[in-house]
Amino acid sequence: MASLILLNYACKQPQEYSQISTTKHWEELESTYKKELIENRDLLDSISETKDIKVMRDLFKVSRQNFKSLEPVLSFHDKQVYASLNAPNILKVEEEDATDIKELNPLSFQSLEENIFGENPDLILAQKTAHHMSNKMDALARNADFSHYQTYHVLWMVRNQILRTTTTGITGYDSPVLQNSLEDAVSAFAKAEYLINLVLTKHPNESLAKEWENAFTANNNYLKKHSFSSFDRYHYIRNHSDPMLKLWAQTVKELTIHFPLEMAVSNEAEALFSNELLNLNHFAGYLVDTLTQEKIELGKKLFNEKGFSSNGAISCATCHVDKLAFTDGLAKSKDQKRNSPSLTYVAYQNNFFYDKRSGSLEGQIINVVENETEFHTDVSKLLQVVKQNEDYLKSITTLYPDQPLNESTVRRSIADYLRSLNSWDSKWDRNLRGEESSLTSSEINGFNLFMGKAQCATCHFAPVFNGTIPPDFTETEIEHLGTPATIENTNATIDEDLGVYEVYQTESRKHFFKTPSLRNVEITSPYMHNGVYSTLEQVIDFYNRGGGYGIGITDQEYQTLPPDPLDLTKQEQTDLINFLKTLTDQRYESNVDQSIY
């Protein structure tokens, strides 16, 4: 049976999606989707039934290709099921509150890949995993209904796939053993091309159809002619990914498509590394009006207001210094047990503090105000100070006329200032947008290492290089790196800070911390939640050794870094650091060579 299924798929090519045979557009899409789900179900059933490792591996590769073909539609139509089917092979913990905590072992293509192709294959677990996944595919097929879909939904699917492939697909994020990322991308783009053809059948436009055909052909040819290790991600973004984003925006304009709302990615976005890509409203819960200069100036004044603290001695700016990219240069901030994180690009995440205990910027401010080692007061003090200052009072009532005059509006003003700290004008951004051509070969190679061999981008996702996962940007990841208490390369001991564990006391979350942005990382030393490393060289050496595992921390079973060393050469480590330095915003470039630390 397994052999027959393999034979049926052996000659199947992605180009089958190129022709549209009916004008019943979304009915065809639904029919194709259901058919592929059933095909994948049958493949997974065959994996669950065979005990032959070679057959199992062959079936997995075909099933994985089929899944990637489903990806553009499945990831949009049912985000949660897609995420579970594509989950990394680490324990998933869902913490709604202290009374609702779930720990879920992954049953996904990533775990299946490691079970079948890892150093110690576990065929019994692989069979159980495949059976579970098969049931999910069957349920998806039985319940699929695309009757409500409009053209903009299908266009969103295409745009999301362009971004997904660029930010996670080509990094090896979801193919940890086989590193079949480029082959996966070809399968996914075949479906994206089918979707565009579907749109252009409904809204005929010959010139656009030709441009898309040329774009997909060039894109896929480039993907096919490179190996994972030799793939030039910089070239790919400049010459393929970004041009496809521009063509997507052009398509929207020429077809006069109207969107009912903005999601995380702006409907006007035309480039990955631009201020226009991400929609601040999405991350703020649709609280943001236009961030005028007047609002930013008011928020900045409140950010620097020492009167908010109980003793009148500190402000937000005390621990978040502008010239240090809103850090303070200390291993641990005064009277705090953790390093002060940068606030640049802080708007593009869904949780705050290293332990993710706050779900909004406004909520973060409450934590600071009430913390006895920080402001040590209560939120009513915020309003009290504003009411006693004539300029503050006039500004806040003028700039927020639709908001009641209360402490929430004061917090909103400070948060709006923080949402403005996104310059998108680093050397990297300017070069990727074609505004200048100043990147060195070392810096470009560093980016390619970051997105490939060094595995940095499997946790620090472009374009913000933080832990918020594209293209939906709804989840900000946490990691257990095995961060040591002191600098040790052998027999190190884990730092005593328990991180995320302290929020709900979930045993498996000990020593987990939120993944921060690497933008402006050149001037935000020292590094890690405990400031243990003072230089980027030390940080890269830690990762190159294999994180905590590589320096002797072997008693932490939930570490999320692979235990193997990266085997980066000295030159590769230098290139990687040189790339990271290109992420320094223009306003801080003059600080780099000065003694500001």
Summarised one tens digit per residue, pLDDT across range 147-175 is: 999 999 999 999 999 999 999 999 999 99
First-residue to last-residue Cα distance in the chain? 67
How does DSSP classify residue 90?
A: S
Per the CB < 8 A criterion, the answer to whether 20 and 198 are in contact is yes
SS3 at position 101: strand
How does DSSP classify residue 238?
A: I
**In this predicted structure, what is the pLDDT of residue 6?**
60
Give the Å distances, CA to CA, from 72 to 184, 193, 194, 260, 284.
12, 10, 10, 21, 26
**In this predicted structure, what is the pLDDT of residue 593?**
56
Angle at 570 between CA 566 and CA 575, to 5 degrees: 90
Question: Cα(343)–Cα(590) distance, rounded to whole angstroms?
Answer: 19
Per the CB < 8 A criterion, the answer to whether 9 and 62 are in contact is yes
Per the CB < 8 A criterion, the answer to whether 30 and 70 are in contact is no
What is the pTM (predicted TM-score) of this model? 0.94
SS3 at position 423: coil
Give the Å distances, CA to CA, from 436 to 243, 431, 546.
17, 5, 36
Question: Cα(194)–Cα(189) distance, rounded to whole angstroms?
Answer: 8
**In this predicted structure, what is the pLDDT of residue 22?**
41
Question: Cα(6)–Cα(34) distance, rounded to whole angstroms?
Answer: 19
Which one-letter amino acid corresponds to residue 487? I
Q: Please count the residues of the chain.
A: 597
Question: Cα(89)–Cα(173) distance, rounded to whole angstroms?
Answer: 11
Question: Cα(301)–Cα(297) distance, rounded to whole angstroms?
Answer: 6
**In this predicted structure, what is the pLDDT of residue 220?**
97
Per the CB < 8 A criterion, the answer to whether 556 and 574 are in contact is no
Which one-letter amino acid corresponds to residue 421? L
Per the CB < 8 A criterion, the answer to whether 539 and 406 are in contact is no
Give the Å distances, CA to CA, from 470 to 22, 110, 161, 282, 460.
33, 18, 10, 13, 10
Q: What is the pLDDT along the chain (597 residues), one digit of tens a residue?
A: 555 556 555 445 444 444 444 447 789 999 999 999 999 999 999 999 999 999 999 999 999 999 999 999 999 999 999 999 999 999 888 887 777 888 889 999 999 999 999 989 999 999 999 999 999 999 999 999 999 999 999 999 999 999 999 999 999 999 989 999 999 999 999 999 999 999 999 999 999 999 999 999 999 999 999 999 999 999 999 999 999 999 999 999 999 999 999 999 999 999 999 999 999 999 998 778 889 999 999 999 999 999 999 999 999 999 999 999 999 999 999 889 999 999 999 999 999 999 999 999 999 999 999 999 999 999 999 999 999 999 999 999 999 999 999 999 999 999 999 999 999 999 999 999 999 999 999 999 999 999 999 999 999 999 999 999 999 999 999 999 999 999 999 999 999 999 999 999 999 999 999 999 999 999 999 999 999 999 999 999 999 999 999 999 999 999 999 999 999 999 999 999 999 999 999 999 987 654 433
Q: What are phi and psi of 587, to 5 degrees?
A: -65, -20
Show the domains of the chain with their CATH numbers: 2-260 (1.20.1420.20), 282-418 (1.10.760.10), 440-591 (1.10.760.10)
**In this predicted structure, what is the pLDDT of residue 359?**
93
**Residues contacting residue 535 through CB under 8 Å, at least 6 positions apart:** 525
Question: Cα(367)–Cα(371) distance, rounded to whole angstroms?
Answer: 6
SS3 at position 94: strand
Instruction: For residue 287, give the nearest of 415, 410, 423 by alpha carbon.
Output: 415
The number of helices, as runs of H, and strands, as runs of E, in the chain is 24, 4
Q: At what angle do helices 109-117 and 53-77 cross, to 10 degrees?
A: 170
**In this predicted structure, what is the pLDDT of residue 18?**
40
